[in-house]
């Protein structure tokens, strides 16, 4: 990995541009796969979103700021809803759960509900946001590998549609709270199926060495199912769940996962005489952060996922008369909110650094950084960016966009071509920051977190306000 605790100078790749970043013929070009659908440039070269230019946005709301194209978010949500519904119509049907961990606030929860999706939450805090938005309880799934008793009680009192169980202790914990409340808890079993989709290593051993779920190969999943079915008074087993990774660009990993999950589904029917009504194949669908990435469309994903589920069910004799196919669930998060959002920064300094041998690097420092996007430092993630506030006819210059924090590894965009006349006061925009950037944001160096702005039909509004110094000091009891 390029990230290094001693700083960027020690990191891999500290040299020329990566292979996927060619010399641009037009340094101002916007690659459509990287940007929200309504983004473009006006006659002055300014980036626009939802009919509003970013110079006006920066003037009114300041920078750094996350900017969400509301119509783009809604369109992507509808695409998953509709493009999966059609191919799964002949099976047991499909539910699309928006993975709230990618990014969630009250307004986004309302969008998700209005577009007909369900919602996946993984903490009491995320559930509280859903409750504040009056999200329909029966369309909420509750995840988490170590849910507290308070969180379980919160979920059951609100009446969530499913709780995904992750350990034997949690089976007992949910059963105890359900007994206390006098309810029957709808639950699913998270199965570790031995598939790691990042590298397409579909082995059933090494990738079970993780904190999530019940091992399929080790028999723990079968044991968990038996324990739950032994408590029908307080536990209602709805089905099986798996999640195989993230930034997945094809469905081959899901094929292996579905085969193993359908096999367990058939085993439950054979051993216990129970046809579980639901099956969740998780999420992890990839997005384009750079020109290197070519994600599948929701339509292609829907067709391919339905084909592989149909094939696997047929292999075990399910889906026919007397053996109804389970209703499938998927959990896109990044694939909906990621491309719908960009982060807007103002340039503060531009610095050329000699690397020796006639080589140099240009550092473009912006008024944000690892506190609003930790993914570059944490995951070695690549991003793109563009000059956003004006037109430029200057030649391209290879630059590294860095943040304002006291860390050498505080890098926003590792490598990007920007106009040679990039200067302090310019605005730059980094696409693809909707997923995990605000969710994982921090107050490092006591830096208040940026606002989240939603833009639609030429109007920008705050959906998460900017933190202030007063907010930082409010929890300090000194």
Q: How far is CA 167 from CA 12, 173, 190, 227, in A?
A: 38, 10, 9, 11
Report the C-alpha gap between 431 and 343 in whole angstroms: 7
Dihedral-angle region of residue 370 (phi above 0 means left; psi in -120 to 50 means alpha; beta otherwise): alpha
At what angle are helices 149-158 and 168-181 packed, to 10 degrees? Answer: 50
* C-beta separation of 142 from 119 below 8 A: no
Residue 406 annotated as catalytic: yes
C-alpha closest to that of 342 among 26, 99, 129, 54: 54
Tokens of 288: 């384009």
| 434 CA to centre of own chain | 8
Report the C-alpha gap between 66 and 369 in whole angstroms: 12
Tokens of 176: 């105890």
Residue among 105, 122, 385, 406 flagged as catalytic: 406
What is the signed CA dihedral for 394, 397, 401, 406, rounded to 10 degrees?
-110
Dihedral-angle region of residue 116 (phi above 0 means left; psi in -120 to 50 means alpha; beta otherwise): left
Report the C-alpha gap between 78 and 403 in whole angstroms: 35
Catalytic residues: 406
């Amino acid at each position: 990995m390029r990230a290094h605790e001693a700083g960027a100078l020690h990191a891999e790749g500290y040299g020329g541009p990566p292979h996927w970043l060619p010399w641009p013929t037009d340094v101002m070009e916007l690659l459509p796969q990287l940007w929200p659908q309504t983004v473009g440039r006006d006659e002055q070269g300014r980036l626009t979103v939802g009919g509003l230019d970013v110079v006006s946005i920066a003037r009114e709301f300041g920078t750094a700021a996350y900017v969400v194209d509301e119509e783009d978010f809604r369109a992507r949500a509808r695409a998953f809803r509709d493009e999966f519904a059609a191919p799964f119509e002949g099976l047991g049907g499909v539910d699309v759960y928006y993975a709230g961990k990618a990014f969630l606030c009250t307004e986004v929860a309302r969008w998700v509900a209005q577009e007909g999706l369900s919602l996946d939450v993984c903490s009491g805090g995320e559930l509280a946001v859903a409750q504040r938005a009056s999200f329909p309880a029966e369309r909420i799934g509750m995840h988490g590998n170590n849910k507290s008793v308070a969180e379980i009680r919160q979920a059951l009192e609100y009446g969530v549609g499913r709780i995904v169980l992750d350990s034997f202790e949690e089976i007992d914990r949910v059963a105890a709270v359900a007994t206390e409340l006098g309810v029957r808890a709808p639950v699913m079993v998270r199965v570790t199926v031995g598939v790691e989709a990042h590298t397409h290593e579909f082995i059933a051993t090494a990738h079970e060495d993780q904190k999530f779920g019940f091992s399929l190969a080790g028999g723990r999943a079968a044991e968990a199912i038996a324990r739950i079915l032994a408590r029908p008074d307080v536990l209602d087993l709805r089905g099986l769940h798996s999640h195989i990774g993230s930034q997945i660009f094809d469905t081959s990993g899901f094929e292996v996962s579905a085969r193993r999950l359908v096999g367990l589904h058939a085993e439950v029917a054979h051993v216990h005489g129970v046809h579980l009504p639901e099956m969740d194949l998780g999420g992890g669908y990839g997005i384009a952060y750079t020109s290197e990435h070519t994600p599948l469309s929701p339509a292609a994903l829907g067709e391919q996922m339905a084909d592989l589920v149909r094939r696997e069910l047929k292999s075990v004799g399910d889906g026919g008369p007397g053996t109804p196919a389970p209703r499938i669930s998927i959990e896109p998060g990044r694939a909906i909110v990621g491309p719908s959002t960009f982060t807007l920064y103002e340039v503060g300094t531009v610095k050329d650094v000699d690397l020796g041998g006639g080589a140099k690097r240009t550092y473009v420092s912006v008024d944000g950084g690892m506190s609003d996007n930790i993914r570059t430092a944490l995951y070695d993630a690549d991003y793109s960016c563009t000059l956003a506030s004006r037109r430029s006819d200057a030649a391209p210059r290879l630059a590294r966009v860095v943040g304002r924090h006291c860390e050498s590894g505080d890098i926003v965009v590792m490598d990007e071509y920007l106009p040679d006349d990039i200067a302090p006061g310019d605005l730059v925009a980094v696409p693809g920051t909707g997923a995990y950037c605000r969710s994982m944001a921090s107050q490092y160096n006591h830096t208040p977190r940026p606002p989240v702005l939603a833009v639609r039909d030429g109007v920008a509004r705050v959906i998460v306000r900017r933190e202030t110094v007063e907010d930082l000091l409010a929890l300090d009891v000194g």
